[in-house]
Structure formats: structure tokens, C-alpha cells
């Protein structure tokens, strides 16, 4: 499935109170490889941005006056997004604005055109509970270079989000692997199902078991008896 990283900039924070989309940036990824087939639109919102919003994105009202309206680019945008998984950081915000723009021109919500909407902010909160999970914070944590992000920009933020997402999902979550080489047409290499292989089970010997117990005891002592496995053992014995 195609994955599209999407970001918007807006005139303010409330689509329901009349704020509009002024910029849309989209970055395409297929099989975990960025394709370069991206989309970027500046839009005339037919209203001025709030002062606080201008400080965030730096896109002046004058700059947007000769840009197309959302209705002029909607077909190109929806064709591009069709049947893809859309990945957005804080998805309810951007989806809410896109749905309002679609509603204003009598079109169906964005979820009627895409296969799935994934909120990368929720993913990050699950992986890093209790920590800051803004795009900037994730870039710092995952070693993604965001030095060029002095202001918010939809296409730049979508590109950064793609890099962040790749790092967030780098762990293996399937028993499939790519084999060396590719097809003559340059497509991705075929996948090998590792479930067809019988993997040897290596048991620890007596010395390794004893060394492991010594290490657990040392950790338990250092934590003053607060290790989880001791509590689980106690619960098991009293059950």
C-alpha cells in the first residue's frame, strides 16, 4: 500500500470558526522507500491568517492572494491520495480542516477517498509515554535533522515526518525478509517467508543459568527488592 505523509498549514486553529487551509504538503512512500512523487499546494484561503498563526508558518496574506482556491486543486489532491494510507502528526487537526474544506464545496470527507488515516502522534505517545512528542521533539530523539525548520512548512514537515516515521517503525514486526538483488525491471526484491524454516532452539547450560541468576540477584539488590520479576514470582507462589 502507498503511504502518504501529509501536513497542512492554516489561518488559525479552528476550522469550525472559519479558519482555512493555506498549504498542503504530501510525501509518498512505497515499500518503505521515498519515491519523490510528492505534492505541494499553496492556497488562497479568502481570509487573513491570525497573528499567532503567521508567527508559526510565516506565510503572508499578500503571498496567498494569487494562489488557487482549494476547489481548484481538490481533484488533483484526491486523485493523489486515493486508496493510500495517510500518515499525519496529530491527525484530528489536519483531517478536521480537510473535511471542512471538502464540506464547503459539497464533497465527501477525506476518509471516503483514502484507505486509512494513521496518527503518528498517537504512535509516538505509545512508544514514549510521558515524554514530549512534538515533531521537533521526535526529530531530536530519533536523530532526524530538522535544522532547516525555522518556521513550520507543510512540505518540509511532511518530509520530516516521513523520516521520523521510518525511525519509529524501524523494528522488525513480521517474519518476512528481503533477499539480495532485485528483479530485472528494478522492482523491490521478493520476500522470503521465514516461517518455512525450522530454527534451532539453543538452551542455556547449567553455568549460564547460574550466571543469569547471579546477575538477577545483583540487579534485585541494587533496586532494593523492587524488580518486577521478584514481584511476579511472589504473586505466582501465593496464587
By annotation, the residues acting in catalysis are 152
Q: For residue 38, give the C-alpha cell.
A: 510528492
Q: Rounded to whole angstroms, how far apart are CA atoms 85 and 2?
A: 6
Looking at residue 170, what DSSP letter applies?
-
Q: Is 78 exposed, middle or buried (0-12, 13-18, 19+ CB in 10 A)?
A: middle
Is residue 28 within 8 A of residue 2, CB to CB? The reply is: yes
Contact 21, 70 (CB under 8 A): yes
- Please, what is the Cα angle at 227 between 226 and 228, to 5 degrees? 115
Q: Which of 11, 35, 13 is nearest to 22 (CA)?
A: 11
21 and 45 in contact (C-beta within 8 Å)? yes
The set of cell numbers assigned to 88 is 499525519
Separation CA 102–CA 84 (nearest Å): 18
- What is the C-alpha separation between 2 and 215, in angstroms, rounded? 47
Amino acid at each position: 500500500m502507498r503511504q502518504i505523509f501529509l501536513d497542512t498549514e492554516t489561518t488559525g486553529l479552528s476550522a469550525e470558526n472559519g479558519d482555512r487551509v493555506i498549504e498542503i504538503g504530501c510525501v509518498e512512500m512505497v515499500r518503505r522507500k521515498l519515491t519523490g512523487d510528492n505534492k505541494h499546494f499553496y492556497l488562497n484561503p479568502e481570509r487573513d491568517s491570525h497573528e499567532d498563526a503567521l508567527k508559526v508558518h510565516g506565510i503572508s496574506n499578500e503571498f496567498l492572494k494569487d494562489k488557487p482556491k482549494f476547489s481548484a486543486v481538490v481533484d488533483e489532491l484526491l486523485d493523489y491520495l486515493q486508496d493510500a494510507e495517510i500518515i499525519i502528526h496529530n491527525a484530528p487537526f489536519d483531517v478536521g480542516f480537510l473535511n471542512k474544506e471538502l464540506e464547503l464545496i459539497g464533497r465527501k470527507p477525506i476518509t471516503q477517498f483514502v484507505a486509512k488515516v494513521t496518527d503518528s502522534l498517537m504512535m509516538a505517545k505509545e512508544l514514549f509515554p510521558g515524554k514530549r512528542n512534538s515533531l521537533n521533539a521526535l526529530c531530536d530523539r530519533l536523530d532526524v535533522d530538522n535544522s532547516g525548520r525555522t518556521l513550520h512548512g507543510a512540505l518540509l514537515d511532511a518530509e520530516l515526518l516521513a523520516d521520523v516515521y521510518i525511525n519509529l517503525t524501524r523494528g522488525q514486526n513480521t517474519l518476512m525478509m528481503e533477499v539480495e538483488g532485485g528483479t530485472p525491471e528494478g522492482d523491490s526484491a521478493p520476500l522470503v517467508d521465514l516461517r518455512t524454516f525450522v530454527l534451532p532452539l539453543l538452551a542455556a547450560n547449567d553455568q549460564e543459568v547460574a550466571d543469569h541468576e547471579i546477575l538477577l540477584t545483583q540487579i534485585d539488590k541494587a533496586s532494593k527488592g523492587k524488580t518486577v520479576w521478584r514481584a511476579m514470582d511472589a504473586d505466582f507462589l501465593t496464587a
